[in-house]
Amino acid sequence: MDLSRFPRRRYTEGATPIEPLPRFSAALAATCPGGRGPEVWIKRDDLLGLSPGGNKTRKLEFLVADALAQGADALVTCGAPQSNHCRITLAAAVKEGLRCRFVIEERVPGSFDEGAGGNHFLFRLLGVESLRVVPAGTDMAAAMRAEADALAAEGRRAYVIPGGGSNALGGLGYVACAQELQQQMFEHGTGFEHVVVGSGSSGTHGGLLAGFLGNRIAIPIIGIGVSRDPAQQAPLVHAEAQAVCDLLGLDLAVPAAAVRCVGGYWQPKYSVPNARMVEAVQMLARTEAILLDPVYTGKVMAGLIGLARDGAFAPGERVLFLHTGGAPSLFAYDSVLLGRGTGLAP
Position with the least CB separation from ligand PLP: 326
Query: Residue 174 class from Cβ within 10 Å (0-12 exposed, 13-18 middle, 19+ buried)?
Result: buried
Q: Segment near ligand PLP (CB under 6 A), from 26-34, 177-185, 202-210, 260-268?
A: 202-210
Site string for ligand PLP, 226-255 (x = CB under 6 A): x-----------------------------
Task: Tell me whether residue 194 or residue 323 sits nearer to ligand PLP (CB atom).
Answer: 323
User: Does the active-site annotation cover 83?
Assistant: yes
Does the protein bind ligand PLP through residue 173 (CB under 6 A)?
no
With contacts defined by CB under 6 A, how many residues of the chain interact with ligand PLP?
Answer: 21
Q: Name, in order, each residue with C-beta under 8 angstroms of 260's C-beta and a sequence gap of 6 or more.
A: 220, 221, 222, 223
Least separation, in Å, of the C-beta of 239 and ligand PLP?
13
Task: Tell me whether residue 118 or residue 326 sits nearer to ligand PLP (CB atom).
Answer: 326
Does the protein bind ligand PLP through residue 205 (CB under 6 A)?
yes
Does the protein bind ligand PLP through residue 198 (CB under 6 A)?
yes
Least separation, in Å, of the C-beta of 163 and ligand PLP?
8
DSSP one-letter code for 333:
S
Cβ(17)–Cβ(190) below 8 Å: no
Q: Which of 57, 89, 274, 297 binds ligand PLP (CB under 6 A)?
A: 297
Q: Which of 74, 137, 139 is nearest to 101 (CA)?
A: 74
Does the protein bind ligand PLP through residue 43 (CB under 6 A)?
no
Least separation, in Å, of the C-beta of 165 and ligand PLP?
7
Q: How far from 182 is each of 191, 203, 213, 307, CA to CA, in Å?
A: 9, 19, 12, 25
Q: How many CB atoms lie within 10 A of CB 268?
A: 7
Does the protein bind ligand PLP through residue 85 (CB under 6 A)?
yes
Question: Cα torsion at 158, 162, 163, 169 (round to 10°)?
Answer: -120
Task: Tell me whether residue 37 or residue 346 sits nearer to ligand PLP (CB atom).
Answer: 346
Q: How far from 247 is each of 184, 191, 290, 314, CA to CA, in Å?
A: 25, 28, 35, 37
> Which of these is catalytic: 83, 199, 227, 271?
83
Does the protein bind ligand PLP through residue 119 (CB under 6 A)?
no
Question: What is the DSSP track for 115-177?
Answer: T--HHHHHHHHTT-SEEEEEETT--HHHHHHHHHHHHHHTT--EEE--GGG-SHHHHHHHHHH
Point out which residues bind ligand PLP (CB under 6 A): 54-55, 84-85, 164, 166, 198-205, 226, 293, 296-297, 324-326
Where in the sequence numbering do the catalytic residues fall? 83
